[in-house]
Amino acid sequence: MTLRGRDDIRRVGLVGGGVIGTGWSIRCLARGLDVSVTDPAPGAEENLREAVGRAWPIMEQVGLADGASQDRLDFVSSIEEAVSGADFVQENVPEHEDLKIEVFSEIGRHAPRDAIIASSSSGFLPTRIQARTEAPERVIIGHPFSPLYILPLVEIVGGRETSEEAVRAAAGYYRRIGMRPLHVRNEIDAYISDRLQQAVWHESLHLVNDGIATIPEIDAAITGGPGLRWAFMGTAMAWHLAAGAGGMRATLAHFGPAMELPWTKLKAPELTDELARRVIEGCDEATGDRDWREMQRRRDICLLKIQEVINEYWYPPGEDGWPEMGEA
């Protein structure tokens, strides 16, 4: 059976309307799609519509597709209603494996058999998520990054039963809604990006736990230096370029011996109450009196502008070293 691909997709069914379900809603509505969302939490519809309205001005700056409208958002009261008329389904319930397996089983019973069912999971194995889903070959992980209406990366991971066609068709759809799919070809916990983020996070926790630095100091150590490079280069390319003509070969010769030193700890320290307190208070200190909504608004504009600069001055897609997937 041929799966519904990028040009067949008019309506997206979203299961779970929290942070990530809201992000998908905003991105898909701005691209002119119809969106059906279900979420049993009290006040979920009101919160969702308020968040979509709040993000709309920035989506106008990003550029709205023809026909894009907040009126295309339907909030419905069951998974069946959300997915039965959907051309593509994206699940965004909390990160509990048993819940996801259960929800996938229900989605599989009601979604059209040729519709892809994607999970936003941050780290579960698709082979386990698809285990009890009808037509498991159409199940993929489509792991986005918050705020997902601005950030383009989506990691696509297939399970043992996922077809190659599902991976390609999902990539085509994500591209259509302005994202850059990255195929995680080997199924692993936490995929690629969260594994990297976790490594930095574990080190941050050790630095706090050992009393070496505060949260604002650690964040400054990223934002003033590596973070600016990471916006478009990645660690390897940054070090390759930093060494000038010698490139990575010179970097490894120069710093290779230091790699033997026990600079990193990597395994997370125990999350004691004291450590949690220091991390939370550090974030509060860095936030001060500023309102989180205003901070999010400014973050979104920064991310947009950074991408505009990258688009203008860095290499265009196809020449920037991104491991492109084949067209769907």
Closest separation between CB of residue 209 and ligand NAD, Å?
23
The DSSP 8-state label assigned to residue 325 in this structure reads: P
Measured between its terminal Cα atoms, the distance across the chain in Å is 15
CA distance 160 to 181: 20
Does 120 engage in binding with ligand NAD (CB under 6 A)? yes
Q: Pick one of 8, 10, 18, 248: the residue that binds ligand NAD (CB under 6 A).
A: 18
Specify the stretch interacting with ligand NAD by CB under 6 A; choose among 91-99, 107-115, 221-229, 260-268.
Answer: 91-99
Does 92 engage in binding with ligand NAD (CB under 6 A)? yes
Q: Pick one of 93, 141, 184, 207: the residue that binds ligand NAD (CB under 6 A).
A: 93
**3-class secondary-structure state, position 156:** strand
The DSSP 8-state label assigned to residue 68 in this structure reads: -
Site for ligand NAD in 144-203 (CB under 6 A): 144, 146
Assigned token pair, 316: 């265009």
Does 287 engage in binding with ligand NAD (CB under 6 A)? no
Does 83 engage in binding with ligand NAD (CB under 6 A)? no
Size of the site for ligand NAD (CB under 6 A): 24
Q: Which of 102, 124, 166 is nearest to 328 (CA)?
A: 166
Specify the stretch interacting with ligand NAD by CB under 6 A; choose among 89-97, 236-244, 258-266, 320-328.
Answer: 89-97
Assigned token pair, 34: 């119809």
Write the DSSP assignment of 137-184 as a string of letters.
Answer: GGEEEEE--SSTTT--EEEEEE-TT--HHHHHHHHHHHHHTT-EEEE-
Site for ligand NAD in 294-313 (CB under 6 A): none
Site for ligand NAD in 21-80 (CB under 6 A): 21, 38-41, 44, 79
Does 133 engage in binding with ligand NAD (CB under 6 A)? no
Enumerate the β-bridge partners of residue 118: 90, 140
**3-class secondary-structure state, position 3:** coil
- Write out the residues near ligand NAD by the rule CB under 6 A: 15-21, 38-41, 44, 79, 92-95, 103, 120-122, 143-144, 146
